[in-house]
Amino acid sequence: MRGTIPFCLAALIGLGAAGYGVYWLLGTCRPLDRLLGISGCTEVVQIADFAPVQAVALTAPDAEGVSSLFGHAYTPDGWRPAMVRLDLETGKELSRYPVRALNGFGWILPAQDGKRGLFTCWVQRICTEDGRRAAIISLVDASVIETLDLDTSNPVHFPGDAAPPGGDEWRRVFAANGERIIEADPDRGLILFDSEGAEIAKLIDKARWDVTVSDLSISPSGTRIAYFEHARNDDPARLLVWNALTGEAVIDHQFDSSYRWRSNPAWTAQSTGLALIRRDGPDTLLELHSVSR
The domain locations on the chain are: 1-38, 39-290
pTM above the 0.75 mark?
A: yes
The one-letter code for the residue type at 83 is: M
Task: Determine phi and psi for 41, rounding to 5 degrees.
Answer: -70, 130
Looking at residue 124, its pLDDT comes to 72
Looking at residue 261, its pLDDT comes to 76
Give the angle subtended at the CA of 224 by the CAs of 218 and 227, to the nearest 5°: 60
> CB of 288 within 8 A of CB of 88?
yes
CB neighbour list of residue 293: distance below 8 Å, 6 or more residues apart: 271, 272
Total residues belonging to the chain: 293
pLDDT digits (tens, 9 = 90+) for 210-262: 666 777 888 888 889 998 888 877 788 888 999 999 999 998 888 877 777 77
CATH architecture of the region 39-290: 6 Propeller (2.120)
Looking at residue 209, its pLDDT comes to 57
Give the HSE-up count for residue 14: Cα atoms under 13 Å, Cβ half-sphere.
6
pLDDT digits (tens, 9 = 90+) for 35-64: 655 667 788 888 989 999 988 889 988 888
Residues of the chain with pLDDT under 50: 16-17, 19-26
55: DSSP letter: B
The DSSP H or E segment spanning 12 is helix 4-25
- The Cα 21–Cα 27 span in angstroms is 10
Sign, Cα dihedral of 226, 50, 48, 236? negative
Number of H helices, E strands in the chain: 2, 20
CB neighbour list of residue 48: distance below 8 Å, 6 or more residues apart: 282, 283
> CB of 74 within 8 A of CB of 49?
yes
